[in-house]
Every structure is written in structure tokens, then in C-alpha cells.
Amino acid sequence: MRQTIKLASVISVALWMAACSPQEEKAHAGTGSQSMEVGILNIVAKPQVIQVELPGRSKAFLEAEVRPQVSGIITKRSFAEGGTVKQGESLYQIDSATYKAALVSANADLARANASLASAKAKASRYQQLVKTNAISKQDFDEAEAAYKEALASVTVAEAAINTAKINLQYTEVLAPISGRIGKSSVTAGALVTANQSQTLATIQQLDPINVDIAQSSVQLLRLKAKLKQGQLLAGDNADVQLLLEDGSVYAYPGKLQFAEVSVDENTGSVILRAEFPNPEGILLPGMYVRAMLNAGTDPQAIMIPQKAITRNSKGEAVAMVVNDQGLVEARTVTTAEVVDHQWRITAGLAVGDKLIVEGLQKIRPGAPVTPKVISETQAQ
């Protein structure tokens, strides 16, 4: 009886499996024939301005080191450290007593020289008349004439001494040579300073406008020149430069490229480019690290694709997925250049007319059938 029940059970299970197998096969067959819908972009070529991002450091537009031109004791400092000063504004006062006395002495020397000149001139005039009548010798006249010319020279020397004394007296008041921001003072009232000393009293920097020195490698410069020569890039006439600050924000004011250095730095192998930027708010300070965006030219036939359409294989190569003529997914190894507005510029691997997959990349694999659906560039971003 038990064997009969077991046999009946086996037959029932076999019949149930036989009934289910065709349905499962049909379901699996139906699933395998379905193709995944993916969003694609039709590759087109268009002109694209190419920018390069280079490191740079800001530098004061003008910089002046304040040093004393006469020796003496500092009696007063007239500026606030870190403040703004104007050209010609008084910064320090050096004790002027000795220089005033030197000016008084120089004036007295001039008066003495003028008196001697008057006497020598009168004597030379008299001798000139007497020598005509042979009342005096020619030698006496020559000596009187020489004394007169010597007196004239003494007056000139005395006048020069007065000018020197006046200049030294003016130098006792140390004035700002340029307008700008002044740093900390290295001396205080009561300090002794000497003429043309090596130590600066303070430094003034003009920060509006401000310069930015940008470093470009000589290798990169040669490559750009080669591309321009081959026609891969077209030279642009836009010398505007944009800055990215240390915190990643974009500096509000564009700058102008002024010049490029004519030699390569032996230590860094780079060429220095200088750009000038307005700095009305004083955001840029000397020595600040920035990133500069420069126009390197225009690619007349640029292929630009969204960044999210590019993946990397195990070798680190950039890979893009396209739909081929058979409607199957095909993996393409591509060569990327720079990123412009969140898009890669492709220099090899893709051609105009290719169907680039930008949506549904996670659900496909090479060789799988797909149904392409064209989407807009805005949707692809």
C-alpha cells in the first residue's frame, strides 16, 4: 500500500514539472529577447574655446621699501600699521636740529662768499683800467682776475652747499613714495636710523590693480604651439583670464594677460605669464595661491560629451558606451583632453554620428541589445 502511495506521488510531481517547464522556458525566452531602453546623444562637432588651468601667485602691482636717506633719531611715526597711505604722505620724522644748523651754516658761507666776490670784482675792475696805463704790472692784473674768478666759484660752491643742506633737511621727513597699503613698522620713536641702511622702515604695496604671476610648463607651451601650427587649434584674440581662489570660488573680476617671460626658469622648467586684475575690495593679497583659467585657442571641430558618460576600465583607460549599427552596446576606448563646463573634450575614439549612451549605463553591458532614445543635451548633463 505504501509503495502504491509513493509511486502515485512520484507520478504527480513528474506531471507537475512537465506542465511547468514549457511556461518557464517561454518566460525565460521572452525575457531574453527584450532590449533595454537607453538615453543617447548623437555625437556632433562644434567650435569650442579651450581653456587651460594653471597655478599662479598674486603679487603687488607696485612695491616700495621705505628707507631713511639721512641719519638721526626717529621722533615720530605718522601712520597706522596695515592702513592705507597716499603718495607724499609723511610716515616718519627724523630729528632735524642738526640739519637746520647745517642749513644756517651754509647760508653764512654763501654770504661770506658773496662779500669776497664783491671785493674781488671791484679790485679786478680797477686793475683792468690801471693795466691799460701801465700803472700796474700785467702780473698784478692777472692775479686780481684769478681772485675774482675764484670768488665766483666760491659763491657757486656755497650755493650748492645750501641746496644739499635743504635736501637733507627735507629728508628728515620720510614721505610715502607711492600710494597703497603699508605694512608693519620695523622701528619706533627713539630708534636710531642711518642713511640708506639695509633694514627697511616699512613696505608699501599697491594692491589695486594687482598682478598674478602664472606658471606654464614649457612642455605644455610647446604642445599648444604645435597644435596651433597643425591647425588643430585656432588662435584666439581673447586675453581675458579668470581666477579660482583657494576656497574654490571664482574671482568676480576678470583680468587681462599682460606679457609672457622670454626665458624658461631653469629650476621649475616653466614660463611665467603675468596677468593684471582689478582688486577694489582687496580680496587678493600678495602671495596668495590661485588657479588661472586662460584661453588656449579654439577647437573648430570639438567633440564634447558629458562627464558621466565616461567610465574607466581596469587599465585606467577612459571608456564610452555607444550603440552600433546592429543596435548592440559597444565599448569604445577614448582619449580625453580637458573638462569644459562639466563636459569632456574627446580627441580620439568617437566620431560625428556615433550614438553615445548617457542614461541607463548601469543596466547594460557590451553586446547587449538596446533601444536607443535620443535625449537633449540639457537632460544629459
- Residue 181: its pLDDT value, please? 92
- Residue 114: its pLDDT value, please? 92
Hey, what CATH topology would domain 97-169 get?
Answer: Helix Hairpins (1.10.287)
Q: What is the pLDDT of residues 308-356, one digit of tens each?
A: 888 888 888 899 999 988 889 888 899 888 777 788 888 888 888 888 8
Q: What are the E-state strand segments in the chain?
A: 36-42, 46-66, 72-77, 84-85, 90-94, 173-175, 180-182, 192-193, 202-217, 240-244, 255-260, 270-277, 289-306, 310-312, 318-323, 329-340, 343-348, 355-359, 370-374
For residue 211, what pLDDT band results from cuts at 50, 70 and 90? Answer: very high
CATH of domain 71-95+172-199: 2.40.50.100
Superfamily of domain 46-58+207-380 in CATH is: Efflux pump adaptor protein, beta barrel domain (2.40.30.170)
What is the average pLDDT score of the chain?
Answer: 83
Q: What is the pLDDT of residues 109-133, one digit of tens each?
A: 999 999 998 998 898 888 888 888 8
Least confident of 236-240, 246-250, 263-267, 365-369: 236-240
Residue 292: is its pLDDT beyond 90?
no
Give the closest residue to 350 by CA, choosing from 312, 301, 316, 315: 301
In degrees to the nearest 10, what's the CA dihedral of 166, 169, 173, 174?
80
Least confident of 14-23, 85-94, 234-243, 336-345: 14-23
Q: What is the pLDDT of residues 1-15, one digit of tens each?
A: 344 444 444 444 444
Domain layout of the chain by residue ranges: 46-58+207-380, 71-95+172-199, 97-169
169-207 as b/e: b if 16+ CB within 10 A = bebbebbbebbbbbbebebeeeeebeeeeeeebbbbbbb
For residue 227, what pLDDT band results from cuts at 50, 70 and 90? Answer: low
- Residue 202: its pLDDT value, please? 95
Question: Higher pLDDT residue, 58 or 231?
Answer: 58
- Residue 128: its pLDDT value, please? 84
Question: Higher pLDDT residue, 285 or 240?
Answer: 285
Q: Is the dihedral of CA 158, 161, 167, 171 positive or negative?
A: negative
| Residue 251, H or E segment | none
What does pTM read for this prediction? 0.63
Q: What is the pLDDT of residues 29-85, one digit of tens each?
A: 344 446 788 888 888 888 877 777 888 899 999 999 999 999 999 999 999 999 999
Please state, as a whole number, how many other Cβ atoms lie within 10 Å of the Cβ of residue 139. 9
Mean pLDDT score, 84-103: 94
Residue 244: is its pLDDT beyond 80?
yes
